[in-house]
Amino acid sequence: MKRRTFVRNGMWVSSGLLVPALARAQGAPASPAAARSAPAVRAQTGGAAGVIQVKGTSPYEITRRAVAELGGMNQFVSRGDVVMVKPNIGWNRTTEQAACTHPEVLRAVIELAFAAGAKKVVVMDNTCHKAEDCYQRSGIEAMARRAGAEVRFSDENRLVLHDFKGEFLGKWPVYRDHLEVDKFINVPILKHHGSSGLTIAMKNLFGILGGNRGKLHRDMGENIADLANGFRSHLVVVDAWRVLVRNGPVGGRLSDVEERRTVIASPQIMHADVAAAALFGRDARQVEFLQAAHERGMGEIDIAKIALKSLSA
Amino acid sequence: MDRRTGRLLQRARILSQIIFTVLFFLLLVRSGGGDAARLPWAGLFFYFDPLFLWVSLLAGPFLRIFLLALAPLLLTLLLGRFFCGWICPLGAMNQFFTWLGARRGQRRMPVARKPLRLKYLLLAALLVASLFTVQLLGWIDPFSLLTRSAATVILPGANALLQQALLAGPEPLYELGRRVLLTVTQRSFLQAAGIGVIFLGLLLLNLHRRRFFCNYLCPLGALYGLLGRWSLLRLAINDKCRSCNACAAHCTYYGSPFKDYLKSECVLCFNCVSDCPEAAIDLRFGLPVSGRRPALDLGRRRLLGASAVGLAAAALPLIAPARSARTHSFLRPPGAVGEKEFLEKCIRCGACLQACPTNALQPAVFQAGLEGVWTPVLVPTSGYCEYECHRCTQVCPTHALARLTLEEKKQFKIGTAVIDRSACYTYADGYNCAVCEEHCPVPEKAIRFREVEVHDFRGRLRRVRQIYVVPDLCIGCGICESVCPRSDIPAIRVGAEEEQREIPYG
């Protein structure tokens, strides 16, 4: 009889223990203690920050080469840093379908970050399809783990309001993981996108946002520019190994994918995007969000005015 | 057998109950978003259920895997209702709650034959109704009941409580729990409250009467009881018995092997053997002597009455408007067979609800008529049919959702999207959006836009990318509806228009 009483009482006690938990869940969310202040972020505009474009035979090798040409990962990551490496894992698609960042490009970036002394590398995204499916099918979760990174899912309980202080985009919920790291490396894939024309590094920052992101499609170009202007990417590495040239951003058909065997790297997000747009065959001036970014003084929109170094490895 | 043997058998029985319950939940948890290639295992318990063998026989083509259900049937002829006592996970949970509710010195109840009879009459009514294409066995079959309750209430509920508890604790503990225990997103179900209240009610009724559901309601238990009365194995009293009736103290059906022995009700729990002070109860193995098959007298008239109730119950859905309606407002999961056949095959178990990774599949309330309660419907406002997934078609035990390969499923048209021009931003308000276009998984895009000049809400002329649907390409997956950024009603909705399952083909 004692055992039974114990179990029965135990059930009451444990349900009582849940009360504080429930009470806490009702309470106010943690204040947006943003580790990174927005004004400092705005300082990233500026002249002709270099862009490296490398074409080659291995996505891993050309990524390493591109970062080396920028002066090495030590330029961007300091010893002891916690580094966020933010790929595009938006869709439940394979590497061949080119809707998500190539895992080999990601592996190179993670390894370089560790080699530069990073204490921890985190990989995550706020996906469009079911997160577990995207992480698995894209091959990114397995590769990132193997390279030693910590793979996280975006957790609603970790959303905080962040003020982007933009013309269109003000306060918006952000997964605080992205605010709590020391360095943010933006590793998008270059592809076609129906409503924004292209998706590259600036658009990739949608993945740090929570909330009803669909609402941001109303003035998509302006919002993307505000987003990229209000949140700093310390380094941008654009995967253009395979490029989805039609029916993006989700794609699916291999006939819509072209091999470009290229990686573009730059510490200047606007210039990386302008160069990637050129590689795609688009004049940046025709791309709404790049036009909007240019108007905000985020960088040159004329590819001719950007110090672009192209090489083959 | 002496008390020690009784205790041993009792413990073996409890161990067996724990093992099968754990196995049941393991299979169920694994079928949630698991590896599609391994999913056929998810239906294991269903294949051993003779009631579903019956469903498959009636609704054809017969699925041979249900021949597995002959095994417990034949074993019941040997052993009696061992299945209820030793294997059934719902039985085990009922037993656990019975044990929780037991009190010292509780007055012994006499065996009550009337309520014990109820389950047989229920079985008769359900079987008769099923002959008339009204298939409701799944509402109350223990495996359907438990799977449905676990998928929509127990597992999501446990996840929610655990998450709140972990959130109150230190962060590293929360992170660990989130990685190894919690689902990435909290699942939620229509009717969870209804299903949950029923389930909780059934569990709590065990505090009132021992194994309430098993004794009085379970149609599967009734079927085993019918066979069990013929079983070779039985309990018998030897001459050591001093007529103390101590064996009645914990008998699951309030009988005893000494007095009120009902072989059809005995689930071989062996509580009596461990209670007997004189080692006066034996297991005997032999042909049942005629006239000595202690069992409930069901009564011909009562059985006829129950069958009549079954007939009446069958008539009601047959004359309901849902059966003849030309339009309907719900979507069925991919692979669903035509509605009439679907209602016959679907056992309302909810295995598909558990397997659906996006939470799109929901138990119907009354959308599909009264007989359609708890059948799966696809609700795009709660999730979407993932293009690269066919899990629900792999777990359906009765093939009410046909086994589709991934390629077949991608082609399977669930319905068609339609734009509500009075709500869509690109029409009503004159500004860009295209979230639905972006998400449309059909490679050649069933949702597209064209640039037009329209007046926006300020009266200014603007160039806007207006959305339109290509109905022939649309497969009705519903991701467009699920991502539409409007906060009140989705401006693009998927209906059953042109759903493939109602079009004769092949």
A1 in contact with B, Cβ within 8 Å? yes
Distance CA B350, CA B152 (A): 8
Q: How would residue A12 be classed by pLDDT, with cut points 50, 70 and 90? A: low
Per-residue pLDDT tens digits for A200-258: 999 999 999 999 999 999 999 999 999 999 999 999 999 999 999 999 899 999 999 99
Distance CA A215, CA A211 (A): 9
Question: What residue type is assigned to position B212 of the chain?
Answer: F
Q: What is the mean pLDDT of residues A107-115?
A: 98
Question: In chain A, at which residue ranges do the beta strands (DSSP E only) sit?
Answer: 51-55, 82-87, 120-123, 150-151, 159-163, 171-175, 183-187, 189-193, 197-199, 235-244, 257-266, 308-312
Q: How would residue B459 be classed by pLDDT, with cut points 50, 70 and 90? A: confident
- B491, B425 in Cβ contact below 8 A? yes
- B380, B493 in Cβ contact below 8 A? yes
Distance CA A135, CA A124 (A): 9
A7 in contact with B, Cβ within 8 Å? yes
Residues B168, A24: C-beta atoms closer than 8 Å: yes
Distance CA A134, CA B485 (A): 21
Distance CA A279, CA A310 (A): 11
Q: What is the mean pLDDT of residues B292-317?
A: 87
Q: How would residue A194 be classed by pLDDT, with cut points 50, 70 and 90? A: confident
Least confident of A143-147, B25-29, B500-504: B500-504
Nearest to A43 by CA among A221, A232, A174: A232
Is B145's pLDDT higher than 80?
yes
What the block records as the tokens of A300 is 């040159």
In a domain, A111, yes or no: yes
Residues B102, A4: C-beta atoms closer than 8 Å: yes
Q: What is the mean pLDDT of residues B198-208?
A: 95
Number of domain units in chain A: 1
B441 in contact with A, Cβ within 8 Å? yes
Question: What residue type is assigned to position B4 of the chain?
Answer: R
What the block records as the tokens of B336 is 């669903």
- B434, B448 in Cβ contact below 8 A? no
Distance CA B285, CA B462 (A): 88
B370 in contact with A, Cβ within 8 Å? no
Model pLDDT, residue B380: 96
Is B336's pLDDT higher than 50?
yes
Which of B164, B178, B439 comes nearest A155 by C-beta? Answer: B178
- A228, A293 in Cβ contact below 8 A? yes
Is A39's pLDDT higher than 50?
no
- B297, B262 in Cβ contact below 8 A? no
Which of B104, B388, B485 comes nearest A217 by C-beta? Answer: B485
Model pLDDT, residue A35: 39
Is A18's pLDDT higher than 90?
no
Q: How far apart are the first and last CA of chain A?
A: 77
Is A29's pLDDT higher than 60?
no
In a domain, A42, yes or no: no
Model pLDDT, residue A121: 98
Q: What is the mean pLDDT of residues A86-101?
A: 97
Q: Which residues 6+ apart lie within 8 Å of B428 measured at CB?
A: B421, B422, B491
Distance CA B400, CA B384 (A): 20
A71 in contact with B, Cβ within 8 Å? no
**Which letter does DSSP use for residue A192 in this model?**
E
Residues A194, B484: C-beta atoms closer than 8 Å: no
Question: What residue type is assigned to position A219 of the chain?
Answer: D
Residues B164, A4: C-beta atoms closer than 8 Å: no
Nearest to B124 by CA among B299, B307, B315: B307
Mean pLDDT of chain A: 89
Which of A21, A157, A253 comes nearest B165 by C-beta? Answer: A21
Q: What dihedral angle (degrees, nearest 10) is formed by the CA atoms of A85, A86, A92, A96?
A: -70
B window 464-483, beta carbon within 8 A of A: 465, 483
Q: Which of B166, B382, B409, B432 to mutate to test the interface with A (most CBs of A within 10 A)?
A: B432
What the block records as the tokens of B416 is 């068609």
A69 in contact with B, Cβ within 8 Å? no
Q: How would residue B351 be classed by pLDDT, with cut points 50, 70 and 90? A: very high
Domain interval for residue A28: 17-33+52-169+177-312
Distance CA B160, CA A41 (A): 38
In a domain, A262, yes or no: yes
Distance CA B247, CA B275 (A): 5
In a domain, A292, yes or no: yes
Q: What is the mean pLDDT of residues A116-124?
A: 97
Model pLDDT, residue A16: 55
Q: How would residue B280 be classed by pLDDT, with cut points 50, 70 and 90? A: very high
Residues A92, B388: C-beta atoms closer than 8 Å: yes
Is B84's pLDDT higher than 90?
yes
B407 in contact with A, Cβ within 8 Å? no
Is A303's pLDDT higher than 80?
yes
Q: What is the mean pLDDT of residues A88-116?
A: 97
Per-residue pLDDT tens digits for A256-289: 999 999 999 999 999 999 999 999 999 999 999 9
Q: Which residue stretches of B372-411 are H helix?
A: 391-395, 406-411
Distance from CA of A94 to the nearest CA of B (A): 10
Distance CA B434, CA A194 (A): 8
Report the CATH number that the domain containing residue A247 is assigned in CATH.
3.40.50
Least confident of A104-108, A181-185, B326-330: B326-330
B403 in contact with A, Cβ within 8 Å? no
Distance CA A251, CA B73 (A): 52
Model pLDDT, residue A22: 47
User: Which residue of chain A has the CA closest to B484?
Assistant: A214
